[in-house]
Amino acid sequence: MLLRLAPPLLALTLAACSRINVNTQHDSSAAKVAGGYRTYAWRPLVEGEAPRVFSPGTDISVEKSVDAYLQSRGYRRVEASESPDFLIRWRGAVLGRKVRLPGIRQSPILPGDPRYYQPDRYLPTPPSEPVENEVPKGTLDLDIVDAGSKKPVWQGTVQGELVDDAEAGDVQDWLNEAIPKLLGDFPPKAG
173 found inside a domain: yes
pLDDT of residue 59: 54
Cα–Cα dist 34/12, whole Å: 39
105 found inside a domain: yes
33 found inside a domain: yes
108 found inside a domain: yes
165 found inside a domain: yes
The answer for 2, left when phi > 0, alpha when psi is -120 to 50, beta otherwise, is alpha
* 3-class state of residue 160 by DSSP: strand
- Domain containing residue 107: 2-185
> Residue 19: pLDDT band by 50, 70, 90 thresholds?
confident
pTM (global) more than 0.75: no
190 found inside a domain: no
76 found inside a domain: yes
Provide the number of structural domains found in the chain: 1
Q: Give pLDDT tens digits for 134-172.
A: 666 778 888 899 999 888 889 998 888 777 677 777 778
191 found inside a domain: no
Instruction: Please return the burial class of 3, using the count of CB atoms within 10 Å of its CB with bins 0-12, 13-18 and 19+.
Output: exposed
Q: Residue 16: give its domain's CATH number.
A: 3.30.160
Q: Give pLDDT tens digits for 47-64.
A: 765 555 555 555 557 888
> Residue 76: pLDDT band by 50, 70, 90 thresholds?
very high
More confident: 159 or 72: 72
